[in-house]
Amino acid sequence: MKEKKIDIPEQVQSILDMSRSLFGEKLIAAYLHGSIVTGGLKPQSDIDLLLIIDCPLTDEKRKIFIDFLLQVSGHHPFCGLGARCIEVILLQKSELAMLHFPAQADFIYGEWLREEFEAGTIPMPVSDPEITLLLAQARQQSISLHGPAAIELLPEISSTQIRRAMYDILPVLLHSLDGDERNVLLTLARIWHTAATGTFVTKDMAATWVIPNLPEPMKSVLVHAREAYLGTIKDDWESEKFNIQKTVKYFNEQIIILLSK
């Protein structure tokens, strides 16, 4: 499979250089994935990196890496200038062979965790169905910055595990709706699309696919989320609270029906 060619942002190159310095020959692979690969960065898109190492991650190295990423990653929300928000997920090579469910990341950095890290929290291993989905998508849609192509290293995630991961994520998404309306709506659209088709697409593509299947006013709610994601309008959910709740409930019901088949 021929990998897509893109310009590597300076932020990414600096993280790659730091990873090589920190882990040396034990850095097995580094993959760029997410929006930058699948459809291009949108106004608020993070830059997503997946690292694979083959060595114990000591507290000292965790602290060094966190301190570095706090400097390199831009603050949320991205204002259109300067550094973008960075998400870095690091897995042990041994995890790829064991393929636990849910998959376990040895280290996660994201801007939603900035306050914890600035307060001194050290990131520890996390098992999460989102990591399972990330591996499935990165195997199909990523660019190798270091090491072998993803399809050569990352395990093939079974459709059973993908569907189970999507089912397990639903309650977490519903719980996080307040204050994160756009992301929850678009993530549910992606899950609906993947549950129906077995393929991964961008958030805006998933929304475009789902919209014709929705009655009003749910259709308008998802159109609003998609256009805000694309940067053509600003998020304004205050007057749509009731319709958002109805839309999310409907999404959840339709997804569960698909996943139960």
pLDDT for the residue numbered 99: 87
In this structure, is the dihedral angle defined by the CA atoms of residues 218, 220, 225 and 229, taken in order, positive or negative? positive
pLDDT for the residue numbered 17: 98
Neighbours of 127 (CB within 10 A): 13
**Contact of 135 with 143, CB cutoff 8 Å:** no
pLDDT for the residue numbered 183: 96
pLDDT for the residue numbered 1: 47
pLDDT for the residue numbered 6: 79
Domains present along the chain, CATH in parentheses: 10-154 (3.30.460), 160-259 (no CATH)
Q: Which residues are catalytic?
A: 87
Give Cβ neighbours of residue 146 (< 8 Å, ≥ 6 apart).
16, 19, 20, 27, 29, 30
Token readout for 162 is 């993908």
What distance in Å separates the CA atoms of residue 101 and residue 28, rounded to the nearest whole number? 22
Where b means 16+ CB within 10 Å and e means fewer, 75-90 reads eeebeeeeebbbbbbb
Residues of the chain with pLDDT under 50: 1
pLDDT for the residue numbered 81: 78
pLDDT for the residue numbered 78: 85
The DSSP-derived string for 16-30 is: HHHHHHHHGGGEEEE
